[in-house]
Amino acid sequence: MAASQDASKSSSWTSFLKSIASFNGDLSSLTAPPFILSSTSLTEYSAYWGEHPALLVAPARESDPEKRALLVMKWFLSTLHQQYCTRSEKLGSEKKPLNPFLGELFLGKWVESEDIGDTQLISEQVSHHPPATAYSIVNDKHGVELQGYNAQKASFSSTIQVKQLGHALLTVTPPGKDKSNPAELETYLITLPSLHIESLIYGTPYVELEKTARIASSTGYIAKIDFSGKGWLSGKKNTFTAVLYHEREGEKHPIYTADGQWSNSFTLRDGRTKKDIETFTVSNMKTTPLTLAALEEQDAYESRRAWKDVASAIERGDMDTTSAAKSKIEVAQRQLRKKEKDENKEWQRRFFRRVNEKEDETFMRLATMLDLTTGNGAGIESDRTGGVWRFDKAKAADAKPPYHEGGSEGLGY
């Protein structure tokens, strides 16, 4: 029986590889074989940014702007293992996540020591065509906020290539500054790396980052992180090199450098003296679990409750029930979109809103530092994410379950 199942799995995997190799367009619309389906929705991926709350708030506890910029780079590097490795380590290989429906929510908080304080997560699917997820992660005690949005464009060229669209904005309140005064805050613009999937042919896919991610701060510091992977003859997977410099001096005059494997360990160095500052080992840094409301207390649009039947069927390996439960939600969503179109209405986002990024002077300055505004804003590519999305504090202040009029309409309940 086991041999028969393995043969069937191998055949399905081979067929899937053939289908993506001949497919033109976004691969997210392809139906994946059952054994690579994940029971987790993409809206949950926003949580990977905040699983080390102590590192997230560390810059707000540092008085030196130069060292704050280093701590931001260190925190960003520490998130990469969580974002791109944890699923394959837990499940044996990278899995295809559930595609969120418009309005889907994922809400929780990280409860830390009194010294760190609680950190709140709000993640919302703000666009379906094209798909985009927006998020806000706030530690009010230290005046730290991370918000952003992301989408993915997948294609096939010898392997699955994924371009990540969108960006993140980290706002830090330096020691002694007023977190309610925007003029006293420090802002960092973070771009997202591209990636591709390795080991496809062996049926054990994992993520490899490529190209460059950059971080620009309102104090003039820029971090540039270049990713590379294992070559045919040499090198290690998940490797990177990074430099942190001030825009006045340029990349050839680094203040700090870093290198290593973002999935394992990396070393931070003083760029002037070349001396090691710290070696950060991923496995030594425990993550803080995210606290969620009990399933029966969640709103109908929250991920875990909405996908409950689908997720349990995937985990049981019951693909007939998986297909039926997914179809129920998808059909209800199509009907809801049709109703909105007929009534000339647009779905109201609960926590986020579209903005005109050109009206945000701080963002535009940071985007210019990273050459994102060249070609009439082509580097931002807002047309491929349904817009530029920002957290709306006024909406959030009024938010109480149930979050949407009509209750579970659109979920097939």
Please state, in angstroms and rounded to a whole number, the distance separating the CA atoms of residues 284 and 305: 33
Residue 373 has pLDDT above 70, yes or no: yes
Which residue's entry shows tokens 């505004």? Answer: 373
How confident is the model at residue 27, as a pLDDT? 54
In percent, how much of the chain has pLDDT > 70?
83
pLDDT at residue 87, as a whole number: 73
The per-residue pLDDT for 376 is 46
Mean pLDDT of the chain: 87
pLDDT-derived band of residue 287, with 50, 70 and 90 as boundaries? very high
For residue 317, count CB atoms less than 10 angstroms from its CB and return exposed for 0-12, middle for 13-18, buried for 19 or more: exposed
- Residue 5's pLDDT is 45
Residue 117: φ, ψ to 5° = 85, 170
| pLDDT of res. 377 | 44
- Tell me the C-alpha distance between 276 and 80, whole Å: 21
Peptide bond into 402 cis (omega under 30): yes
Cα gap 77→311, rounded to integer Å: 30
Tell me, what's the pLDDT at 2? Answer: 45
Rg for the chain, CA atoms, rounded? 22
* Higher pLDDT, residue 157 or 247: 247
Least confident of 152-161, 164-173, 245-254, 403-412: 403-412
Q: What are phi and psi of 384, to 5 degrees?
A: -100, 5
- Mean pLDDT computed over 353-372: 94
Burial environment of residue 213 by CB neighbours within 10 A (0 to 12, 13 to 18, 19 or more): buried
Q: Is the pLDDT reported for residue 109 higher than 60?
A: yes
pLDDT of residue 106: 98
**Across residues 172-187, what is the average pLDDT?**
96
Q: Tokens standing for 135?
A: 């998020």
Q: How confident is the model at residue 256 (pLDDT cuts 50, 70, 90)?
A: very high
Plot region of 274 (φ>0 → left; ψ -120 to 50 → alpha; else → beta): left
pLDDT of 147 > 60? The answer is yes
**pLDDT number for residue 31:** 60
The domains of the chain, with CATH numbers, are 2-291 (2.40.160.120)
pTM here is: 0.90
The secondary structure of the chain, three-state, reads CHHHHHHHHHHHHHHHHHHHHCCCCCHHHCCCCHHHEEEEEHHHHHHHHHCCHHHHHHHHHCCCHHHHHHHHHHHHHHHHHHHHCHHHHHHCCCCEEECCCCCCEEEEEECCCCCCCCEEEEEEEEEECCEEEEEEEEECCCCEEEEEEEEEEEEECCCEEEEEEEEEEEEECCCCCCCCCHHHCEEEEEECCEEEEECCCCCCCEEEEEEEEEEEECCCEEEEEEEECCCCCCCCCCEEEEEEEECCCCCCCCCEEEEEECCCEEEEEECCCCCEEEEEEHHHCCCCCEECCCHHHCCCCEHHHHCHHHHHHHHHCCHHHHHHHHHHHHHHHHHHHHHHHHCCCCCCCCCEEEECHHHCHHHHHHHHHCCCCHHHHCCCCHHHCCCEEEECHHHHHCCCCCCCCCCCCCCCC
Across the range 297-306, mean pLDDT stands at 95
For residue 65, cis peptide bond before it (omega within 30 degrees of 0): no
Q: What is the pLDDT of residue 196?
A: 86
Higher-confidence residue: 273 or 376?
A: 273
In the predicted structure, residue 191 carries a pLDDT above the cut 50: yes
The average pLDDT across 81-89 equals 81
- pLDDT at position 388, please? 96
Is the pLDDT assigned to residue 302 strictly greater than 80? yes
Q: What's the confidence (pLDDT) of residue 401?
A: 66
Rounded distance between C-alpha atoms, residue 157 and residue 21, angstroms? 8
Banded model confidence at residue 291, pLDDT cuts 50, 70, 90: very high
Minimum mean pLDDT among 12-16, 92-96, 200-204: which range?
A: 12-16
408 pLDDT exceeds 80?
no
pLDDT of 406 over the 60 cut: no
> Of 237 and 133, which is predicted with more confidence?
133
How wide is the angle at C-alpha 326 spanned by C-alphas 320 and 332, nearest 5°?
135
Query: Is residue 1 pLDDT above 50, yes or no?
Result: no
Q: How far apart are CA 74 and CA 52, in angstroms?
A: 11
pLDDT exceeds cutoff 50 at 45: yes
Lowest mean pLDDT among 28-37, 266-275, 280-289: 28-37
Mean pLDDT of the region 363-390: 85
Does the pLDDT of residue 91 top 80, yes or no? no
Higher pLDDT, 276 or 94: 276
